[in-house]
Structures are given as C-alpha cells and as structure tokens.
Amino acid sequence: MNKKYQNGFFIFGMAVLGLMITQLDFAEVWSGLQHTGYWFLAVLGLWCVLYVFNTAAWYLIIKAGAKSESPLQGQRREKVGFWWLYKLTVSGFALNYATPGGLMGGEPYRVMSLAPKIGTERASSSVIFYAMTHIFSHFWFWLISIPLYLLTQPLNVLTALMLGTGGVFCGLGLWFFISGYRKGLAVRAMNLLRHIPFVKKWARPFIDRHRGELDTIDCQIAALHRQSRATFIAAVGLELTCRLLSALEIYFILLVILPEVSYIQCVLILSFTSLFANLLFFIPLQLGGREGGFLMSTAGLGIATSAGIFVALIVRMRELLLTGVGLLLIKLGSSAPVVRDKEERNEPKA
C-alpha cells in the first residue's frame, strides 16, 4: 500500500481512538480490571483465537478466487500468507471499530493492502465477499438465538412480539444476502448510496466512472459463490462458529461476579447486544449502543443491572486495547506497487 494512504488510515484511526479514550472514567476502568484479574487475559487470548477464524474464512475465499483464475491471469500473482492476512484482519477490524459507518474504514484498507499481491479487482471482490459472509453469519447467529431463547427462557407477550419481529428481520436479511451472492452486491450497494443525503453527490459520479469495474466485481462474486459452494459453506461455518465462541468472552467476565451463569445465557446476551449495537452502526465503536444492549439483555434474562454494566465496561476496554493494537499493526505493513489487472492478464489489444 502507498505510504501516504497507510499513514492516513493510521492517523485517522489513532485520532478517533484517542478521542474515545478521553471519554473513559479511568478510576472505574482500573477498578473493573482489578476485579476481573486474570480473566481479562483470558478474554484477550480468546480474541487472538477468534481472529484466526475470521482470517481462515477470508483466506479460503482468496484461495477459491485464485483457483477460478486461468493460469495466464494468475501467473504473476504473489502468494498471500496466512499470518500476513491475519495482521490485515486485525487492522481492518480495528479501523471498522473506529470508523462511523463501520465498513467505511476497514474494507478500503484491506483492498488497498491486498491489491499489490492479487490485483485490484480480485482484492475488491474477495473483501466484499468476505464482508458479506461476515454479516451473513450475524443474521444466522441472531436467527439461531430465537429458538434457543424459546427452549431455555420463559415467554410473555412482549417477548414473543420481539422474537417474531426479530425473526422477520433476520429472514429478510438472509434473503437480501443470498440474492447478493447470486447476482453480486457491489452495484446494488452503490446504487443505494445514490439516495443517501451528502453521500449521493459523491456516489453518482463514482458509479458512472467505475460501472465496468463494479460489474466485473459482481460477476466475480457470483461466480465464486456458484463455483465454490464448499468454500462458501466453510467460510460461513467459520464465521458462525466465531460468533458462538465469542460468547465465551461474556461468560469469562460474568464468572467473576456470577459463578452460576450459564453459557446459553451468554449466547443470548451477545445475540441481543450485537443486534442492538449493529442497528447503531453509524456510531464509532457503537458507543452507548453496546452498553445499552448489555443492560437490556442482562435485565431481560433476570440478571442484575450491575452485571450488565460490568460486562460492558470490560468488553469496552478489550475493544479499545485491540483497536489500538490493530492500528499499530498498520504501520508494520510494507508498500508495493499495485498489480495492474489488465496488464497481468495479458489481454490481447484490439
């Protein structure tokens, strides 16, 4: 990646991170960390493992894209190492956490970092395909949580209404992404931006200039989904497993103050909290939304409000710490000239 862009991503992310740190009550943070003790180290170790699942899903998608290329197309492509991709995954999520609108930060960074190795179009399609898979797994996680709640928790009219609404929302989300996998999502997403205030002035000329590239990316996404079903299922499985295992973070934290807590309760807390926080995607690090989600989900399961506050505080500290680490990893990247797709394909000139 060009050093100018690399420094831009780094400076922007660190500035937002610094601003968010100033909003913390340091006495409360220190008290919470002391109370958590070694379990906080267990939480950090858990996320180091969870990022391996995220990286493996993206790695499978990139490898499947390489197999679908003809030998002439891929003859000068560089090998993408797993642990280099792991660094990109951690840094990309760090930028997503720090950026209002989520995917507006980490995904461009991933494309620009990966493009020198495999070409801009394939880098773009793999990043978009992985982002779609990451979000797709969230919808499955939320949908699975509905019968899990029905089997383990008491039901009332209000809860039944909320679960029904959530089921419809998840069903629509799954339909949208399945359709996107079959037909591509790049053009559809950009066309959606045409109607958003402030963004539409930029989106319209961008779409007009890059219509051909966007169509190519959509074709690659559709072809990858059609030709590599096993890869698609494996990637979704890895991401869904990651969602389920991430509930261990809440379990570890609550064990400090509630030894009787169950893992199922933690899965349900995470499901509701992540759904609520993602509805507030436009807030950096989902400040306030994540905390509110923890308070409501713990209260809904009959757990003390103080426990929800405690979990929210420790999770926020973990997010801030790993966001800082991810942003620092950006500076460890090396710059390289971008592979020009048309030149690499040696397409015959008219």
pLDDT tens by residue, the chain, 350 residues: 666 656 676 676 667 666 666 655 667 767 777 778 888 999 999 999 999 999 999 999 998 876 656 444 444 566 889 999 999 999 999 888 876 555 456 788 898 889 888 888 888 888 888 988 998 999 999 999 999 999 998 888 888 998 999 899 999 999 988 887 877 676 666 666 666 665 566 666 766 777 777 777 778 777 777 777 888 899 999 999 999 999 999 999 998 888 888 999 999 999 988 887 776 654 545 555 566 667 777 777 778 777 888 888 888 889 888 988 998 888 875 544 444 444 444 444 44
pLDDT of residue 338: 43
Nearest to 272 by CA among 297, 248, 254: 297
Instruction: Say how far apart CA 101 and CA 51 lie, in whole Å.
Output: 21
CA angle 219, 136, 153 (to 5 degrees): 165
pLDDT of residue 345: 44
pTM assigned to the model:
0.81
Look up residue 194 and give its DSSP letter: T
Residue type at position 271 = S
CA angle 85, 91, 93 (to 5 degrees): 105
Instruction: Say how far apart CA 312 and CA 334 lie, in whole Å.
Output: 36
Nearest to 324 by CA among 1, 15, 8, 2: 15
Instruction: Say how far apart CA 213 and CA 141 lie, in whole Å.
Output: 33
Nearest to 138 by CA among 274, 327, 3: 274
Nearest to 220 by CA among 25, 69, 13, 7: 69
* Residues 155-164: b if buried by 16+ CB within 10 A, e if exposed: eeeeeeeebe
Dig out the tokens for 288 from the structure.
């306030």
Which residues are CB-neighbours of 315 under 8 A, at least 6 positions away?
Answer: 249, 250, 253, 290, 294
pLDDT of residue 216: 76
Nearest to 94 by CA among 347, 343, 325, 346: 325
pLDDT of residue 231: 87
**Quick check: helix, strand or coil at residue 106?**
helix
pLDDT in tens, 269-305: 999 888 877 766 545 455 555 666 677 777 777 787 7
Dig out the tokens for 13 from the structure.
């992310």
Dig out the tokens for 310 from the structure.
């405690």
Task: Indicate the domain borders of the chain.
Answer: 3-337
Signed CA dihedral, 74, 76, 82, 84: sign only = negative
- Backbone dihedral angles phi then psi of residue 83, each to the nearest 5 degrees: -75, -25
Dig out the tokens for 308 from the structure.
């929800």
pLDDT of residue 137: 94
